[in-house]
Structure 1
């Protein structure tokens, strides 16, 4: 029922709408360009995480231990050589984009874990003040170079991943692709 004595009708020409929908359908058949745009976006976002020292959710990475800080040239985390940060790549697969790294130590930094390794201990002097669990007069003792097994626990410092802001940007990239913006 029409109110108050005035109305209007809108007639639509379906042809422009059909052409527009066909163009969107054609673009969906070839998603490689939009997936490449998402891959490039994620490379930038991952680079930003290295500079911000934060995971995808914005949580700061665990600080370096005092022992690790003594051996490093820089105080930034995961950036000593720049190798890991510089080797984040993406590849396109049918209907998907995969972001990651082929650096062998990338997984331990992303996920955290314990590494058991053999380390070479250099020749050094030690003050000995106990023997067989009992105190003795302190004296200097030279310790020869030797190999030692060592467990090294590395905390997770996620640099790969997606957050809500990224998902929103994926949607914007897709809309731009489908609407020729």
Structure 2
């Protein structure tokens, strides 16, 4: 009878390390959430992938060529990664994020409010609203019930290449040489 003996200690050590990495996934999840954050930041930089719906003409006139969803950069800068042993994610706590991401209709009730203008020295009143502190003329205005439609501009999305990057990260995490 021929007998083959082989030392398998290194194989057992590798299996133990693989088991440990499978139980302790925090480093992988942290890496995945970082990739998700990169993807979302690229969505804002590209103004959507695919491109977001454009701005309304009235908004374009007021903005002078600003980027979609980036008037103040509040939404873009609010995106935060989060991870633990079992999950990786990105998100925002900005209240209006959902309507921007999914789109929808905002219904406004009729209301009356004081509006403020700047009155010129000759007594004429401009047609632009100003802040109360900059105003020297005001009057009451009634605004009827109306709705505003917001197109969907999904920013919390991953591209195919982003998903592939995340798959590659997981494979590397589980297969990189053990120390």
Distance 1:73 1:107 in 2: 25
- Structure 2: 5+ residue stretches without partners: 118-124, 127-138
* One of 159, 166, 169 as aligned partner of 1:163: 159
* Alignment partner, residue 79 of structure 1: 70
- The CA deviation string for residues 29-70 of structure 1, in whole angstroms up to 9 with x for no partner, is 01111101111111111011101011xxx3111111101112
Kept after mapping to 2: 8 A contact 1:35/1:92: yes
* Alignment partner, residue 111 of structure 1: 102
* Alignment partner, residue 13 of structure 2: 19
Kept after mapping to 2: 8 A contact 1:121/1:147: no
Superposition TM-score, scaled by structure 1 size: 0.73
Superposition TM-score, scaled by structure 2 size: 0.74
Distance 2:59 2:153 in 1: 15
> In terms of Rg, which structure is larger?
1
- Structure 1: 5+ residue stretches without partners: 1-10, 126-142
Structure with more strand by fraction: 1
Distance 1:36 1:147 in 2: 49
| CA 1:12–1:97: 2 relative to 1, 3 Å | same
Distance 1:121 1:106 in 2: 29
RMSD of Structure 2 on Structure 1 (CA): 2.8
Kept after mapping to 1: 8 A contact 2:39/2:159: no
